[in-house]
Structure 1
Amino acid sequence: MKPPPTPDTPPLAVHTLGRSGVPVTALGFGGASIGGLYRPVTDDQATATVEAAWAAGIRYFDTAPHYGLGLAERRLGAVLRTRPRDSYVLSTKVGRVLDPADGPGDDSDHGFAVAATLRRRWDFSADGVRRSLEDSLTRLGLDRVDLALLHDPDDHEEQAFREAYPALEELRSQGVVRAIGAGMNQSRMLTRFLADTDVDAVLCAGRYTLLEQDAAATLLPAAQKTGKSVIIGGVFNSGLLADPTPGAMYDYTAAPEEPLRRAARMQEITTSHGVPLRAAALRFPFGHPAVASVLVGARSADEVRDAAAQWRRPPADGVWAALRAEGLLPGHIPVPPGGTRSR
């Protein structure tokens, strides 16, 4: 594959993950969608999406074996191999090992529109961590990743702390990875990682958004206290904050009536201030200084271009106050400074 033309957009603002020295762009690319999340994505479509992210200035890319049973890793690696390895930062995850499947089927039970030629097996042992990372490098076709994250150890907490985390720490000390952490859809265990281990960063999905701020109570203060970083995933709460209409997804399922109502009212308010809801949602997490990057998932070049454009669009003055005035955003939650737009 020939490298595409030099992008006409410079890289986005960069923040460092904790004390690791690993730089991530403020807007990062989340790879689940190009692994066929919810509906199929072709190889050509996935390639165009990643290339559009690069052209938009994104230089931080996140993926996982879970995403399409390794498909997202293979597709992301195919594009990134055409770029100088030191020009971007890549994270993947450990905790699910992929084994050959017993028979034909599909992966719809896990949310991915792909053939189930492999099956996931939870493995937070030290050997499982090492095998998972080796397998990921093979699928990516790269010699290293920059950040390795324990993926969803919710039901494997003690093994994750006792076996998986020390294995990651050893891999970091050997220089196999530059930074380590954990990625989850909850705050409690991520707060424990920040307080009780020497992780560099954690990835918190869906728990620090315009719609809900569970991570504000303990996770973000713990990160700030320890000098570590938080990456925010699920900033649109599975799509609800991108398009709050009936049938929208929320936390990987159909949105219940109450969050749908709140998100729709938020959209009315932000629109009245001249800014789309998705632009406010992308900017919101950066009100807290511990947030280093926000990941946005996209399945098409148009989607990723739109996300980058919304990211570069500063919220209008008064939009945060208007959301607070209607009780849609708690008064104690920090917000980023507004832009120069007026009504």
Structure 2
Amino acid sequence: MRQRTLGSGTVRIGELAFGAAAIGNLFTPVAEAEAGAAVEAAWQAGMRYFDTAPHYGLGLSERRLGAALRGRPREEYVVSTKVGRILEPLTTVDGDDLANGFAVPATHRRRWDFSADGVRRSIEESLHRLGLDRIDIVYLHDPDDHAEQALTQAYPALHRLREEGVIGAVGIGMNRADLPARFVRETDIDVVLLAGRYSLLDQGGLADLLPLAAAHGVGVVIGGVFNSGLLADPKPGATFDYAAAPAHLLARARELKAVCERHGVPLRAAALHFPFGHPAVASVLVGTRSAAEAADTAAMLRHPVPAELWAELTELGLLPPGTPTPEEVG
């Protein structure tokens, strides 16, 4: 897969990334063997960038990803994790963590912490769960209500760790575009992970963040290209941003699907290709819970998408005028 260097550093990532939230039992359980098979299938398909976080399954995602990567040449893959939520063990386990989206026992509680000490503690604990001696990319994770602490305490701590070689690159990961844009302006981050705000249904990242990232040489990883399911299979009951899709978005997604079908392209393939029309985009990250999903994602990225498809989407008003689109990929 094509690779790109993030920021002014040396970390290089491939164009397709494995999102490991799902193997942390996102919404429903995933068996241990199934999680390992998903990583193996991703590896066989050429994926070498794997993203996780302490938040995902109260550490389960990090543990499973580390176990699945163990024994593979360390220089051949990139791992990113996140800081901002400290996991504190509970003395008694009472119920599950489904209120936070994960089908795991409630063995810990999450505590927001974007202090310098919190950053260092979080990274140390992630290294232990992953079984690694270094982390390639560390993202500030959802600092929506902690912007100032993330900017004045967490970021400087990550900057120092990058200078010391403990981590390779510094980023911010959110499902909104305005705060990451501020970090691009005011700090020396290498990468932004933007979830759900640059897709066939939502181009919110295009107004400010993506042009700014391109101007500053900051790489952008796009998550949520299926908008949590609607662009994977736009049927009644499909979800958009993890809630039932509004009727107007369902109708628009079905229009997108109809155009894709006229050109012999699965909607999933068009959704995966679309972000690469912008020069700031380095990679697309897809949440994967099984070997079949990993193989399908790689196949969709290889599927040709003709320029005529993008032209028709623009002509029909399904993409705003001036939206950058990829050149034909064969």
Q: Same fold (TM over 0.5)?
A: yes
Q: 1:135-146 maps to which residues of 2 (within 5 A)? A: 135-146=125-136
Once the 2 structures are TM-superposed, how far is the Cα of residue 30 of structure 1 from its aligned partner? 0.6
> Is there any run of 5+ residues in structure 1 with no aligned partner, and where?
1-11
Distance 1:116 1:188 in 2: 33
In the alignment, what sits opposite 2:84? 95
Q: 1:1-343 maps to which residues of 2 (within 5 A)? A: 12-101=1-90, 103=92, 104-339=94-329
Once the 2 structures are TM-superposed, how far is the Cα of residue 317 of structure 1 from its aligned partner? 3.4
Letter of the structure 1 residue corresponding to residue 285 of structure 2: L
Deviation track 1:107-166 (CA, whole Å, cap 9, x = no partner) reads 111111111111111000000000001000111011111000000000001111011111
Letter of the structure 2 residue corresponding to residue 177 of structure 1: I
Distance 1:18 1:236 in 2: 26
Distance 2:268 2:201 in 1: 12
Summarize the Cα distance change of 1:178–1:339 in structure 2 as closer, same or farther, 3 Å threshold: closer
Distance 1:85 1:260 in 2: 43
Deviation track 1:182-223 (CA, whole Å, cap 9, x = no partner) reads 100000000001110000111000000111101000000111
Once the 2 structures are TM-superposed, how far is the Cα of residue 101 of structure 1 from its aligned partner? 2.4
Question: 2:307 touches 2:326 (CA, 8 Å); kept in 1?
Answer: no
Distance 1:67 1:254 in 2: 22
- Please give the TM-score of this superposition, normalised by the length of structure 2: 0.98
Question: 1:283 touches 1:311 (CA, 8 Å); kept in 2?
Answer: yes
For the residue of structure 2 that corresponds to 1:183, the secondary structure is strand
> Is there any run of 5+ residues in structure 2 with no aligned partner, and where?
none
Letter of the structure 1 residue corresponding to residue 114 of structure 2: F
Distance 1:258 1:83 in 2: 46
Question: 2:134 touches 2:166 (CA, 8 Å); kept in 1?
Answer: yes
Q: RMSD of the alignment, in Å?
A: 0.9
Question: 1:124 touches 1:159 (CA, 8 Å); kept in 2?
Answer: yes
Letter of the structure 2 residue corresponding to residue 327 of structure 1: G
Distance 1:153 1:318 in 2: 40
Q: Percent identity?
A: 61
In the alignment, what sits opposite 1:4? none
Question: 2:25 touches 2:104 (CA, 8 Å); kept in 1?
Answer: yes
Aligned length: 329
For the residue of structure 2 that corresponds to 1:15, the secondary structure is strand
Distance 2:302 2:8 in 1: 27
Distance 1:245 1:112 in 2: 24
